[in-house]
Amino acid sequence: MSRWKFIWRLTPLFAVLALLLSGCQGAFNPQGSNAKDQLWLIELAFFIMILVLVVVFGIFFYVIIRFRKRKGQTGYPKQVEGSHKLEVIWTVIPFILLMILAIPTVLLTFHFAQNANNDKDALHIKVTAHQFWWEFEYPDLGIRTAEDLVIPVGKKISVELTSADVLHSFWIPELAGKMDTNPGMVNKMFFNADKEGVYKGKCAELCGSSHALMDFKVVAKSEADFNAWAKQIKQPAAISADAAKGEEIFKNKCLQCHAVTPDQRGFGPNLAGFANRNTVAGFRPNEPEWISKWLTDPQAVKPGTLMPNVGLNQQEVSELVKYLQELK
């Protein structure tokens, strides 16, 4: 087999490995204390595995070369019985390596499992997973929103997680590890962001046909900007005369499912501050083109979503787009 044919046959393997590792990029770029500790554990485990690999293969190749059959050698080589010293060495060393990995892993596992609900300095958020979107409630601030989780930089975020339907999993690779959201249960975790920015969040549990599209964003702001956001989102959106028709259509066909004030809950996502969000349907750019496609045929954009097709004509869609873009 030629060298190039051999390389060509390995290409699919490399492609699969690249695809698998692409999902880990966020975890290798930690921007929060929990994520940094988790990366440290990954690096520690990786170093130990590489060390063992190098030593084992080094001994393996040494033995192959040192004790290979020599030219002119006949018969069996001298048989050596087991060495108590070697047996103790290759038992004790793996045990020591295991303890080096196990002790910090156990300690950090208990640290990550701490309940931050009683921390008065933390920002408390209730997260509810839906097929296929995320709902965020700030009980201390009287705010309920969706898709974009806005947090202040440097502050501990105490999260209570549950699900409205099936099993989901809450994951922000750059800030924290995964935590399941179970229907009828409340799981708890905490995290923080070290600097301002937008961090991608995912559902990490297969939950239906649009599981891969169940994204959300964590928007980390300075404390002053966060306080300004929390104050501003409670103010009614200033709707211009140009969007008045869209507002009327929204009240007639959408208001039964979607609230537009942050203190109310609806069957669908709360749309307060919708115009300031990064995405529509959780994963498409928040632009008129995609808003129109979403309103016209939501199943084509996000299969399996519970968003119904309410039979809007093109004129109604255009008016609704104008209105939604003014929900700031």
**Res 168: pLDDT:** 97
Q: How confident is the model over 164-209, as pLDDT tens digits?
A: 999 999 999 999 999 999 999 999 999 999 999 999 999 999 999 9
Q: How confident is the model over 215-260, as pLDDT tens digits?
A: 999 999 999 999 999 999 999 888 999 989 999 999 999 988 998 9
**Res 115: pLDDT:** 87
**Res 236: pLDDT:** 87
**Res 46: pLDDT:** 95
Structure letter (DSSP) for residue 239: -
Q: Which CATH homologous superfamily contains domain 123-232?
A: Cupredoxins -  blue copper proteins (2.60.40.420)
Q: How confident is the model over 57-70, as pLDDT tens digits?
A: 999 999 899 888 88
**Res 4: pLDDT:** 62
Residue 274 structure tokens: 């919708």
Q: Which fold has domain 24-67+81-113?
A: Helix Hairpins (1.10.287)
Percent of the chain with pLDDT over 90: 66
Q: Band the pLDDT of 328: cuts 50, 70, 90.
A: confident
Q: What residue ranges do the domains of the chain occupy?
A: 24-67+81-113, 123-232, 241-324
- Is the pLDDT confidence value at 3 over 90? no
Q: Which residues of 178-217 are buried (b: 16+ CB within 10 A; e: fewer)?
A: ebbbbeeeebebbbbbbeeeebbbbbbbebbebbebbbbb
The CATH class of 241-324 is mainly beta
Establish whether domains 24-67+81-113 and 123-232 are of one fold.
no
The residue among 168, 174, 185, 186 whose CA lies nearest residue 282 is 168
